[in-house]
């Protein structure tokens, strides 16, 4: 296999890792209001991802950095082309990250309410926009002979792109619900399961229409396999939720995410960013990639470091594997207020 | 304003803002790891207090550093697409390595540290803060290596067919002499920043006219002493590494250093300007209080070495690279260089005062208002020094984004004017420039508000309040059984030691 092809796959793997991991923590953020009826509920939700969300977000930095290193032209065209969409994503990620850390630092309802809004905004916006972005990458956008995007933000908001946004948002929401079901106990656990059964049909229909649409327009024969896998996985996640198998339901939505990314990347190859202006202007695995030397160096780095990262990240999930419920949440302790007596 | 100018403003604002948090993250991470190590070894309550207290301040700062770091990585592609295309083959590698080798380490282990107080053994928990701190320290290496390549491109060739730089020797890129000089400077500066931060806050708390638990007093006194020694050591390290860096810069970027000295004409021997009065960029005789021969010594190591002036270098560049003006903004380069050194010196001077006031075990005085104000005000100085250092080195590199290496391949160069994104209009950059600036500004207010609140409460404010009816929770660290059906009796023991 050509190294550039290998790197195309690896970029796909990095985005899969990002969507799998940050997908559920986006989901938890989106669920803060619908699932979190009380302050304790919301703290349970945030604490399910508290120790891990930042590590999850590094997958995005890695995907971005790896694209820069392995496909500089892709990185340049994509990031300058999807400029305002990425700006919105960045604002959302900034607010969200700060909100997790700051919301509990002052004991005031209005303070927490504002940061809760920041978390919800910061989780919904990227969840929708990543789908819009990837749908447009796959479908192609106007790109000129210099490799520069010639559209606007509105170019991206076409039906296929918007459907992509619905798919990622509903998929991350479902993935988040399964994560919450897996990581919590008590009433919130039950609510997450019930809501999962209501959200799943939306995810399944949107996902199916989107992937089949993509498949009919530009799919390869073999990409039917990931499309079907995604469909089966989503249905299986519903059955698993019904059967009370929280872990299986979570794994199933995770598999659906991976299969969807594979289907999209499979239909994209050998382009990395097709041009709708003229196919000759399309960025491909070949014309967008770095030199074989750089790819070889980066291959060594990735082959050595990725397993190490996966090991310690998996370990961190193992450390925090316990379910949490209201009995685990300590009383608020911030300076400036007398320590509240707590539940006891 | 045109797209290039706007993009430069945005890069400058984002980078300076991001780099307010970065040095404190690096320096304070290592400092907190040190405090926790002392606590682990000795069991002294004072070091536990310092770990918790400065750990909390560290986290408030860290959150902002992380989120602005994403902008930092994305803006190369967003605003500087032509730059990214030109350098991606070389420049992308250290960025990807930074994420894979350093950011994962930092973020994952920091999560383990924050939430792991009751989930990990004390030894393992100590290891997590070290892993996170080392990750942060390591990340700086890769980004400095990337930046150094823009200052002094090595390990690459120019492909005339594609018009791009191509890496041929990754080892040369990672061990760029510019990197090896800049990295210790950055790390020493970061530790200096943390040292002044810790010392200033601790001294301020000790000098307040307010009752304080004895345990806090003991802890903060230790923190002041640690800060003094660290500031001395790092003040020297910053100066030595900076001097070495300057010598290298005279060779590698003579224009930047000539501009830093407002040295218009070539001189032999050259004097060092301490100060300038008048318009630095237009006139050549504005240098005042010139120390004879000192610049020659700093640049070449001998007191009669020749130092080239801005005009002559500009003429050489015109001959080599065609007509144009190859001078950086002289006013900014000259003054930011002095501001960097000046603020760094003030920071170190604060440690001298603190050392004098605490010599032979003396307590800091409580009645002196100016000392209290000074101990808080001085915290700003290393941050200012860091910012001016970057402003100096980035502005001094202009008009290049990739400065030509005098001993390298001349085609490996790119003007900033040619580096922006063709797909991006000035209205778009205005949108993001205003958006980010307002957001950064608002968040800075919030961060300072929180820091102030947590500082004012002192270490006692973040110590866990032990409930009197809690005899059974001292075991800790098991977390083994999943306890499917907990009885109501052991509910207390289930409460997380830390939660958002």
How many C-beta atoms lie closer than 10 Å to residue A186's C-beta? 14
Q: What is the 3-state secondary structure (H, E, C) of B255-298?
A: HHHHHHCCCCCCECCCCEEEEECCCCCCCCCCEEEEECCHHHHH
The pLDDT assigned to B284 comes to 64
The pLDDT assigned to B368 comes to 84
Per-residue pLDDT tens digits for B250-302: 999 999 998 888 888 888 888 888 877 767 666 666 777 788 888 888 888 88
What 3-state class would DSSP assign to B327? coil
CB atoms A93 and B112 under 8 Å = no
**pLDDT confidence of B481, banded at 50, 70, 90?**
very low
Instruction: Tell me which of A123, A133, A189, A319 to substitute to probe the interface with B (most B C-beta atoms closer than 10 Å).
Output: A319
CB atoms B60 and A77 under 8 Å = no
Does residue B204 surpass a pLDDT of 70? yes
The pLDDT assigned to B283 comes to 61
Supply the ipTM of this predicted assembly.
0.93
The token pair at A71 is: 């496909």
Contact A182, A190 (CB under 8 A): no
Q: Which residues pair with B400 in a beta bridge?
A: B415
Burial state string for B388-402 with b = 16 or more CB within 10 A and e = fewer than 16: bbbbbbbbbbbbbbb
Alpha helices in chain A (DSSP H): 3-30, 32-35, 39-49, 53-70, 72-81, 83-102, 109-139, 153-156, 159-183, 187-218, 224-242, 246-268, 292-319
What 3-state class would DSSP assign to A56? helix
Closest CA–CA distance from residue B124 to any residue of chain A (Å):
11
Tell me which H or E stretch contains B24: helix B3-42
Q: Which of A130, A273, A131 is nearest to A211 (CA)?
A: A131
Q: Which of B71, B88, B110 sits opposite A72 (nearest CB)?
A: B88
Per-residue pLDDT tens digits for B304-322: 888 888 889 999 999 999 9
Contact A204, A230 (CB under 8 A): no
CB atoms B112 and A324 under 8 Å = no
**pLDDT confidence of B382, banded at 50, 70, 90?**
very high
Q: Which of B88, B112, B465 sits opposite A339 (nearest CB)?
A: B465
* DSSP 8-state code for residue B99: I
Contact A180, A194 (CB under 8 A): no
Per-residue pLDDT tens digits for B128-178: 999 999 999 999 999 999 999 999 999 999 999 999 999 999 999 999 999
Instruction: Tell me which of A89, A148, A291, A330 to substitute to probe the interface with B (most B C-beta atoms closer than 10 Å).
Output: A291
Closest CA–CA distance from residue B232 to any residue of chain A (Å):
32
Per-residue pLDDT tens digits for B326-353: 999 888 998 999 999 999 999 999 899 8
Q: Which of A68, A93, A330 sits opposite B70 (nearest CB)?
A: A93
Report the C-alpha dihedral over residues B417, B421, B422, B424, rounded to 10 degrees.
-120
Chain A residues with CB under 8 Å of B69 CB are 61
Does residue B13 surpass a pLDDT of 90? yes
State how far the alpha carbon of B421 is from the alpha carbons of A78, B5, B6, B238, in Å: 11, 12, 11, 36
Closest CA–CA distance from residue A213 to any residue of chain B (Å):
29
Q: What is the DSSP string of B52-95?
A: HHHHHHHHHHHHHHHHHHHHHHHHHHHH-HHHHHHHHHHHHHHH
Per-residue pLDDT tens digits for A53-105: 999 999 999 999 999 999 999 999 999 999 999 999 999 999 999 999 999 99
* DSSP 8-state code for residue B101: I
Instruction: Count interface pairs A-B at CB distance under 8 A.
Output: 277
Residues of chain A under the 70 pLDDT cut = 336-344
Q: Which of B79, B116, B164 sits opposite A319 (nearest CB)?
A: B116
Q: Which residues pair with A149 in a beta bridge?
A: A143
Name the residue in chain B with its Cα closest to that of A63: B96
Name the residue in chain B with its Cα closest to that of A94: B67
């Amino acid at each position: 296999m050509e190294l550039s092809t290998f790197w195309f796959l690896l970029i796909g793997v990095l985005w899969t890792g990002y969507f799998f991991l940050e997908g559920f923590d986006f989901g938890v953020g989106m669920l803060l209001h619908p699932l979190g009826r009380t302050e304790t509920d919301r703290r349970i939700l945030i604490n399910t991802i508290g120790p891990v969300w930042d590590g999850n977000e590094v997958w995005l930095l890695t995907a971005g950095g790896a694209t820069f290193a392995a496909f500089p032209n892709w990185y340049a065209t994509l990031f300058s082309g999807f400029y305002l969409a990425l700006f919105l994503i960045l604002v959302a990620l900034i607010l969200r990250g700060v909100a997790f850390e700051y919301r509990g630092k002052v004991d005031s309802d209005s303070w927490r309410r504002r940061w809760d809004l920041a978390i919800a905004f910061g989780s919904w916006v990227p969840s929708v926009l990543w789908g819009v972005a990837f749908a447009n990458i796959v479908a192609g956008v106007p790109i000129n002979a210099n490799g520069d995007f010639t559209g606007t933000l509105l170019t991206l908001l076409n039906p296929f792109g918007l459907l992509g946004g619905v798919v990622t948002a509903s998929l991350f929401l479902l993935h988040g619900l399964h994560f919450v079901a897996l990581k919590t106990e008590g009433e919130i656990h039950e609510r997450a399961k019930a809501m999962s059964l209501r959200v799943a049909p939306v995810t399944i229909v949107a996902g199916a229409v989107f992937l089949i649409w993509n498949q009919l327009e530009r799919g390869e024969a073999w990409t039917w396999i990931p499309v079907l896998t995604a469909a089966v996985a989503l249905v299986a996640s519903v059955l698993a939720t019904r059967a009370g198998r929280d872990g299986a339901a979570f794994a199933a939505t995770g598999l659906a995410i991976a299969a969807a990314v594979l289907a999209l990347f499979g239909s994209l190859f050998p382009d990395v960013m097709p041009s709708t202006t003229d196919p000759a202007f399309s960025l491909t695995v070949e014309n967008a990639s770095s030199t074989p030397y750089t790819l070889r160096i980066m291959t060594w780095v990735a082959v050595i470091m990725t397993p190490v990262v996966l090991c310690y990240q998996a370990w961190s999930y193992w450390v925090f594997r316990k379910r949490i419920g209201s009995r685990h949440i300590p009383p608020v302790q911030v300076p400036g207020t007398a320590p509240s007596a707590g539940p006891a | 304003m045109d797209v290039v100018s706007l993009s430069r403003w945005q890069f400058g604002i984002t980078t300076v803002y991001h780099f307010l948090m970065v040095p404190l993250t690096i320096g304070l991470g290592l400092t907190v790891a040190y405090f926790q190590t002392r606590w682990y070894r000795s069991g002294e309550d004072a070091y536990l207090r310092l770990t918790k207290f400065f750990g909390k301040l560290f986290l408030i700062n860290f959150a902002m550093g992380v989120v602005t770091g994403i902008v930092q990585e994305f803006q190369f592609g967003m605003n500087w697409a032509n730059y990214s295309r030109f350098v991606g083959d070389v420049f992308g590698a250290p960025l990807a390595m930074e994420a894979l080798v350093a950011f994962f380490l930092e973020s994952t282990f920091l999560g383990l540290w924050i939430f792991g107080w009751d989930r990990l053994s004390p030894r393992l928990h100590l290891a997590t803060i070290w892993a996170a701190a080392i990750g942060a320290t390591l990340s700086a290496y890769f980004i400095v290596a990337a930046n150094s390549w823009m200052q002094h491109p090595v390990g690459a060739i120019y492909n005339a067919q594609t018009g791009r730089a191509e890496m041929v020797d990754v080892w040369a890129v990672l061990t760029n002499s510019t990197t090896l000089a800049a990295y210790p400077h950055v790390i020493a500066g970061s530790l200096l920043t943390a040292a002044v931060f810790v010392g200033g806050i601790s001294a301020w708390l000790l000098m307040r006219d307010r009752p304080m638990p004895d345990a806090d007093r003991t802890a903060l006194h230790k923190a002041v002493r640690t800060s003094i020694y660290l500031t001395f050591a790092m003040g020297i390290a910053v100066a030595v590494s900076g001097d070495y860096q300057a010598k290298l810069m005279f060779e590698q970027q003579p224009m930047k250093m000539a501009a830093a000295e407002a040295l218009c004409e070539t001189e032999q021997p050259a004097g060092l300007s301490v100060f300038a009065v008048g318009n630095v960029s237009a006139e050549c005789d504005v240098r005042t209080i010139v120390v004879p021969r000192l610049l020659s010594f700093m640049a070449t190591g001998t007191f009669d070495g020749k130092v080239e002036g801005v005009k002559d270098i500009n003429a050489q560049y015109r001959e080599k690279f065609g007509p144009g003006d190859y001078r950086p903004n002289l006013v900014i380069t000259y003054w930011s260089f002095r501001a960097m050194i000046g603020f760094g010196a003030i920071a170190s001077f604060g440690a001298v005062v603190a050392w004098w006031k605490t010599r032979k075990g003396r307590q800091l005085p409580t009645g002196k208002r100016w000392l209290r104000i000074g101990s808080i005000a001085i915290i700003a100085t290393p941050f200012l020094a860091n910012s001016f250092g970057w402003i100096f080195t980035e502005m001094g590199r202009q008009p290049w984004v990739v400065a030509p290496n005098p001993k390298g391949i001349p085609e490996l160069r790119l003007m900033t004017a040619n580096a922006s994104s063709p797909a991006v209009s000035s209205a778009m950059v205005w949108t993001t420039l205003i958006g980010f600036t307002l957001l950064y500004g608002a968040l800075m207010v919030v961060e300072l508000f929180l820091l102030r609140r947590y500082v004012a409460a002192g270490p006692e404010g973040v110590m866990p309040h032990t409930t009197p009816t809690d005899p059974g929770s001292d075991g800790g660290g098991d977390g083994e059984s999943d306890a499917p059906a907990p009885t109501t009796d052991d509910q207390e023991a289930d409460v997380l030691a830390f939660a958002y």
